Structure 1
Amino acid sequence: MEIKQLFTDDSAVSPVIGVILMVAITVILAAVIGTFVLNLGGSVSQTTPQASFGFDFDDDASGDNVTITHETGDTIETDRLALKSSVAVDVATSLSSVSNTGSDQTTNEAFTEPGSGSFQSGETVGAGDTLYAGGGMDLNGEDFRVVWNSQTGENSATLSEYTAPNN
């Protein structure tokens, strides 16, 4: 065999590169399909917001009220927030709009409600925004939680909790 022919013969290089490329493509394809099947990317976009809500209790003879104020943290879509309480209450963005009728009161009250008096769908809650909860009843010792729900409804998290004082 001639030395010149040894340096110019590269027929073995193509099959080796071909096998390496096929293995790389197979590994990448398997990773992409596995991610979609296991829905690993779906939970990344649904991270729980970091926010702090403050509570202020008003003991009134005509009915107690709790003022919920977004103090610090992320702005959050109102469609994702709810007030869960141990007693049925109504919520509104002004104290005068809080309903005293039982039909408007629930233990799982959304920050958005049809009509006036509450946040509208599509709005965001940021630092300084306030919501009032009440309904003409005694709220002494009742529990309140601001709860965030993911867009898909698969995840939820309690952002802040409060127990009204026993007066």
Structure 2
Amino acid sequence: MGVGSERGVSPVVGVVLMVAIVVVLAATVGAYLVVFTGEQPSQAPQTAIVADYSERTTGNGEYLNLSFESGDTLDRTKLSLAISGARDSTGTDATLTGDPLGTQAPTSITSGVEISIHAGHFSEVGPGEHLDLSEATLRLVWDPKPSTESETYVVYRWPDPSRR
């Protein structure tokens, strides 16, 4: 009887060793992920913005007013505007050179804040020409950290892609 009970110990020791190896591997992988992923990514703020687009071709030309209607308070220092496809009245690409956010919005953007984007914010729109935004796309980009390695989020896009 003594010989049979010794044989039963061998499978139990094997199972215990396998469980220990799995636990050590899981702990190693978990520690690796925590160290190399760093902190959790921050979530983009949620906001409701209404755009008022004027297609006039007199004066300075077209303009776009953005009205912040509701949602989270936005930190202006973490926001930037990206506009592509804007042109002057001759068809030349117009580059956004002004800072509508910096000159028109408070540091904390809340409901009721309005920003106007017009010819004065673009370098290529000269005297006697007007701004053409008919093919333009605007993105309001939120960057949670001022570094090149952080993720950025588009919190607003004009026009809505489904409308083009």
Question: Identity of paired residues, percent?
Answer: 17
- In the alignment of these two chains, the number of paired residues is 116
Q: 1:162 aligns with which of 155, 158, 164?
A: 158
**Counterpart secondary structure, 1:49:** coil
The 1-side partners of 2:44 and 2:109 are apart by 15
Instruction: Give the TM-score normalised by the residue count of structure 1.
Output: 0.55
> Which 5+ residue runs of structure 1 have no aligned equivalent?
1-25, 90-103
Between Structure 1 and Structure 2, the one with more strand by share is: 1
The 1-side partners of 2:137 and 2:54 are apart by 14
Q: Is the 8 A contact 1:88 1:107 kept in 2?
A: no
Q: 1:148 aligns with which of 142, 148, 157?
A: 142
Match of 2:68 in 1: 70
Instruction: Give the TM-score normalised by the residue count of structure 2.
Output: 0.56
The 1-side partners of 2:136 and 2:118 are apart by 11
Aligned pairs for 1:1-167 within 5 A: 34=32, 37-43=35-41, 46-60=42-56, 61-62=58-59, 63-87=61-85, 105-106=95-96, 111-112=101-102, 117-119=103-105, 123-135=107-119, 136-151=130-145, 152-153=147-148, 154-163=150-159
> Which 5+ residue runs of structure 2 have no aligned equivalent?
1-23, 88-93, 120-129
The 1-side partners of 2:40 and 2:98 are apart by 27
Q: Is the 8 A contact 1:82 1:148 kept in 2?
A: yes
The AA in structure 2 aligned to 1:54 is: V
The 2-side partners of 1:105 and 1:86 are apart by 8
The AA in structure 2 aligned to 1:86 is: S
Between Structure 1 and Structure 2, the one with more helix by share is: 2
